[in-house]
């Protein structure tokens, strides 16, 4: 997926998967849904439950690190709102780390800046996936609907990556 073509939602998903694989054992991470552009009714329910505008998208806590790390995910052209700037200032006063990330590489860089011992790197994961894809052969079978199904060949996977369909 190219940086320009990446949606904020797809970046969230890739980062969540990466955090699960890369953070040290015993770490905690989760996404926080602030219902940013949801309907008025959903936003009102969230506010009634104590929700707050501007809260960062991902929370990361690592054993041995006294304060958490907050990750605000933005699309490549995304802009940080005033509420998000306020939240960043608040958590910084408490000694928490706060980063705006626009890719999974940015998230890895933020963790490295915080000296988190990672179990995996983005480049290592991608190399592992590429190696697995090289070994794939087309598998032809019939789906329950009777239609013929095939697994992508390595060349098809590469074309899909080039087109920004796969990470």
pLDDT exceeds 80 at position 30? yes
CA distance 78 to 101: 10
Q: Are residues 44 and 113 in the same domain?
A: yes
pTM of the entire predicted model: 0.71
pLDDT digits (tens, 9 = 90+) for 47-65: 788 778 889 999 999 999 9
Is the residue at 98 inside a domain?
yes
pLDDT exceeds 70 at position 153? no
What is the largest distance, in Å, between two alpha-carbon atoms of the chain? 61
Q: Are residues 100 and 46 in the same domain?
A: yes
Q: Are residues 60 and 112 in the same domain?
A: yes
Give the residue numbers spanning the domain of 54.
Answer: 8-120
The more confident residue out of 48 and 163 is 48
Dihedral of CA 32/36/42/43: which sign? positive
Q: Show the DSSP H helices in 34-153 as ranges.
A: 40-48, 82-93, 104-113, 122-134
């Amino acid at each position: 997926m190219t940086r320009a073509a990446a949606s904020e939602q797809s970046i969230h998903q890739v980062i969540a998967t990466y955090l699960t694989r890369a953070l040290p054992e015993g770490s905690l991470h989760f996404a926080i849904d602030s219902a940013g552009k949801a309907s008025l009714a959903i936003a009102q329910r969230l506010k009634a439950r104590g929700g707050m505008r501007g809260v960062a998208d991902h929370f990361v806590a690592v054993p041995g690190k006294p304060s958490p790390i907050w990750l605000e995910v933005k699309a490549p052209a995304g802009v940080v709102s005033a509420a998000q700037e306020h939240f960043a200032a608040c958590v910084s006063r408490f000694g928490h780390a706060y980063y705006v990330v626009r890719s999974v590489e940015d998230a890895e860089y933020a963790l490295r800046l915080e000296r988190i011992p990672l179990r995996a790197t983005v480049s290592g994961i991608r190399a592992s996936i590429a190696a697995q894809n090289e070994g794939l052969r087309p598998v032809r079978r019939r789906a329950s609907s009777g239609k013929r199904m095939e697994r992508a060949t390595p060349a098809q996977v590469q074309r899909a990556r080039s087109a920004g369909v796969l990470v």
